[in-house]
Structure 1
Amino acid sequence: MKKLHVVSLGCTKNLVDTEVMLGKLQEYALTQNPQEADLIIVNTCGFIGPAKEESLQTIFELHSVRKKDSLLVMAGCLSERYKEELQKELKEVDIFTGVGDYAKIDKLIEKKKSSFSDQVYLIRNEERLITGSNYHAYIKLSEGCNQRCSFCAIPSFKGRLQSRPLENITQEIKNLTAKGYKDFTFVSQDSSSYLRDQGIADGLVRLIEEVEKIEGVQSARILYLYPSTTSMHLIDTIAASQKFVNYFEMPIQHISDRMLKIMRRGIGSAKTKELLYAMREAPESFLRTSIIVGHPGESEEDFAQLVTFLEEFDFDRINLFAYSDEEGTSAYEFNDKIPQHIIDERLAILDTIVKEKTQKSLENDRDKTVEAYLDGTSEESDLLLSARKKIWAPEVDGEILINDSQVDKISIGELYKIHINEVVGDKLVGTLVSG
């Protein structure tokens, strides 16, 4: 049986597409060792500078260790965004493909042929091989984006919004629950615009209502809400749901009215804050956001407003990004670029706040009993078990280390009650007390 080594870089939306490719290549045995692989696939990210560098470095590293006569495939966003240049310059790669041919990967490998379809691929009914969990799966809502943020190049190579039919999504979830999956995370570039391309303004509300009816769904959450397309009705619907946890990820990028206008976010500071405080008021809510530091035109006053708000408002998690100057974006043409040393200084200031907020969020769980999914043995130690709070998104929000159990028989992927005894660094430590 031939062996396949796969690396999926970037976001979880990429991971779904990688799982589609794995579903098409089930005649291959998966291997963690690229040196023994007959086929190597890298699903690349082309969002910002560091992600592009990671993608290229991964290609070079895998090429340096692969065996003779193996095939190296470069797929995904970076490959799509720079297809002409990469095909000309990257002699290490045997097959190039972008964001349109994931479901045809078996045919491309069979023919040893590169391909870039005009249409961006959006999963429909294709079987995919879920990775990393026996109980959790990501569900892609849509592809592309109708927003025109000044700093983002995604619409230039992913195109306009195209939503999956609702019945297509519900059928996929039913198929997965039949296989034992019970926890779902919904992803897209702009989840709160789901179905707007089909003239339906409350698409996410409809999705929530339909998922509520599916037997076997134990919990769910939605990632990537966009401020200008998130409504109070949506927030209330999530808060009232029996299956969707009160998880709100809404990248605000900034809080200064002036910067929000420059960034073309389509919404001002007052409305942004109104949404955030409504999310915060939902029972036991969890809020994650993203901030861009050093966007062209960001003044000291703009930055001071951002610092003040992040100190005042209790986000649970915050992603910080240094502005990345990306060709194909409107900000790329701006003249008032911020010097890198100032961006670094501002990042350092915000990083201190981010760590304080994360620590405060973790400390809120001390001495509480929380619901969490058991993931198995922790990478920290073979003597510790690892769990994830039911409300958290996988991998990004944290880990509970279990050093004691009052339950004799435990199963990976099941929901347990865990009493949190302490916070150690960025981890919760607790005792498994009941199923």
Structure 2
Amino acid sequence: MKFTETKPTKTLHLVSLGCTKNLVDSEIMLGKLKEYEITNDPTIADVIIVNTCGFIDSAKEESINTILNLHDERKEESVLVMAGCLTQRYQEELQKELPEIDIFTGVGDYDKIDKLVNEKRSAFTDEVFLLNETNDRVITGSSYHAYIKLSEGCNQTCSFCAIPSFKGKLHSRTLESLIKEVKNLVSNGYKDFSFVSQDSSSYLRDLGERDGLEKLVEEVEKIEGIQSARILYLYPSTTSLSLIEKIKNSTVFENYFDMPLQHISSNILKIMKRGKGVEKLKELMNSMKAVPNSFVRTTFIVGHPGESQEDFEELCKFVRDYKFDRANVFSYSDEDGTAAYEMLDKVPQEIIDERANFLGEIIKETTIQSLEQEIGNEVEVYVDGESEEHEYLLSARKVSWAPDIDGEIYINDNELLNEAGEAKQIEFGGKYTVRITELVGDKLLATVIK
């Protein structure tokens, strides 16, 4: 009897922190390390990768704590990799201060991660990594939805943001490259897409094209098999009324408008270097809201240097009056290398925290109001799987919502009668029409109609 010796499988544990743009980069690394079996248990992993976030203090702290905790529990011969934005931003300091880490790499070498792991060496390429259609990604977390990254870097000069200092200027992918990637994913069963970048509404401006997103909408609509799409992170000064109209008239793109405003006081917008007058900004926001079945999301920063109580009260009034469907509030974080870091009229931390809590409560109210408006409506949803709440409840998402950030709908049936009157199991990843019946806390409940 002949025995064949099987080579033991190497295992990989990957943690992706921060934004969905980071998630795409993490998926590139998984694609380059396909010979590894992914494990959720870091104590048995041969390779552990943390794709870090370096945006604000809380994100930096989470990145450092995560990697140190993983070092404490990893097995002796494993390889620990620290990748991404935080390492790019503080490469020299981190290499000195964290001898526990085996490999350091930044934002330029995601597609070389297999070589770095094999050779157990660190690397920092000067240029940021720009995805193309030949890069093999392993999509995580969904069998039907994928994020598509439009560009890297940013040409804006916001006073509070350090991203351009380590991600560089705007580098857009070509439209051809994007369309090829989407077509490949559609052929593999993906049907719902979220287009992301640091500043999505500037897409292709570095390549001399002012209406890049409008061109993208036109080309994506031609791809057979796409059921829905949305664009995340529009920037005020590069978003036009014609883009809003283009999205409104699209047969594929949801009427989803995600524009981080950061503030509404003309005084603070000027200090923040946000590059759009308040009247123009309000015109844009009202145009978005006027689109039928629109969904409007934003973010705000409170406590920026120079923010007076009057500025803050103006912001609160605007949020109450406008009634965003979803919003987030961030406490100002003093980031070295930014214009705001050098400003003298800093707001005391306890006032920043008070303002963040106060605005957070207003946002909770407007979010609940937005959810309450859904009761009684018939809406289309994607069913993701069993909910974490209860095994008999299914977790779904309204088609127009972005995954993970806009909410969850609980469905209390797992079967549906077909036209012949036979019970058919509800499929995960499937699209269904449901009727919203009630709101419990911040979760909508629904029953499937068809």
What is the TM-score with the length of structure 1 in the denominator? Answer: 0.99
Q: CA deviation at 1:409?
A: 2.5
Question: Which residue does 1:48 correspond to in 2?
Answer: 56
Q: Secondary structure at the match of 1:68?
A: coil
Q: CA deviation at 1:382?
A: 1.1
1 CA distance for matches of 2:89 and 2:388? 36
Paired residues of 1:373 and 1:387 also in contact (CA < 8 A): yes
Deviations 1:185-208 (A, max 9, x none): 000000000000011100000000
1 CA distance for matches of 2:242 and 2:224? 25
Question: Which residue does 1:119 correspond to in 2?
Answer: 127
Question: Which residue does 2:419 correspond to in 1?
Answer: none
Q: CA deviation at 1:404?
A: 2.5
Q: 1:424 pairs with 414, 427, 440, which one?
A: 440
2 CA distance for matches of 1:51 and 1:406? 41
**For 1:238-277, what aligned pairs fall within 5 Å after superposition?**
238-277=247-286
Deviations 1:272-296 (A, max 9, x none): 1100000001110001000000000
Larger radius of gyration: 2
Question: Which residue does 2:4 correspond to in 1?
Answer: none
Deviations 1:113-146 (A, max 9, x none): 0000000001012010000000000000000000
Q: CA deviation at 1:405?
A: 5.0
2 CA distance for matches of 1:411 and 1:344? 44
Q: Verify: 1:130 aligned to 2:121, yes or no.
A: no
Question: Which residue does 1:413 correspond to in 2?
Answer: 429
**For 1:388-399, what aligned pairs fall within 5 Å after superposition?**
388-399=397-408
Deviations 1:219-259 (A, max 9, x none): 00000000000000000000000000000000000000111
Q: Secondary structure at the match of 2:31?
A: helix
Q: Verify: 1:37 aligned to 2:45, yes or no.
A: yes
Question: Which residue does 2:110 correspond to in 1?
Answer: 102
**For 1:281-320, what aligned pairs fall within 5 Å after superposition?**
281-320=290-329
Query: 1:59 is aligned with what amino acid?
Result: I
Query: 2:30 is aligned with what amino acid?
Result: L
Q: Secondary structure at the match of 1:35?
A: coil
Q: 2:385 pairs with 366, 376, 385, which one?
A: 376
Return structure 1 stretches of 4+ with deviation > 3 angstroms.
Answer: none
Query: 2:91 is aligned with what amino acid?
Result: K
Q: CA deviation at 1:320?
A: 0.5
1 CA distance for matches of 2:247 and 2:236? 15
**For 1:165-180, what aligned pairs fall within 5 Å after superposition?**
165-180=174-189
Paired residues of 1:20 and 1:127 also in contact (CA < 8 A): yes
1 CA distance for matches of 2:275 and 2:263? 12
2 CA distance for matches of 1:214 and 1:149? 36
Q: Secondary structure at the match of 1:419?
A: strand
Query: 1:348 is aligned with what amino acid?
Result: N
Paired residues in the alignment total 434
Residues 216 and 327 of structure 1, relative CA distance in 2, 3 Å threshold: same
Question: Which residue does 2:396 correspond to in 1?
Answer: 387
Root-mean-square deviation over aligned CA pairs: 0.7
Unaligned runs of 5+ in 1: none
Paired residues of 1:222 and 1:248 also in contact (CA < 8 A): yes
What is the TM-score with the length of structure 2 in the denominator? Answer: 0.96
Question: Which residue does 1:190 correspond to in 2?
Answer: 199
Q: Verify: 1:141 aligned to 2:157, yes or no.
A: no
2 CA distance for matches of 1:395 and 1:121? 26
Q: Verify: 1:350 aligned to 2:359, yes or no.
A: yes
Query: 1:105 is aligned with what amino acid?
Result: I
1 CA distance for matches of 2:260 and 2:139? 27
Paired residues of 2:384 and 2:397 also in contact (CA < 8 A): yes
Paired residues of 2:150 and 2:197 also in contact (CA < 8 A): yes
Paired residues of 2:109 and 2:129 also in contact (CA < 8 A): yes
Deviations 1:125-176 (A, max 9, x none): 2010000000000000000000000000000000000000000000000000
Query: 2:250 is aligned with what amino acid?
Result: S
Paired residues of 2:415 and 2:426 also in contact (CA < 8 A): no
Paired residues of 1:188 and 1:223 also in contact (CA < 8 A): yes
2 CA distance for matches of 1:284 and 1:416? 18
1 CA distance for matches of 2:402 and 2:285? 19
402-411 or 307-316: which moved more? 402-411
Identity %: 64
Paired residues of 1:405 and 1:433 also in contact (CA < 8 A): no
1 CA distance for matches of 2:337 and 2:122? 24
Q: Secondary structure at the match of 2:390?
A: coil
Q: CA deviation at 1:331?
A: 0.2
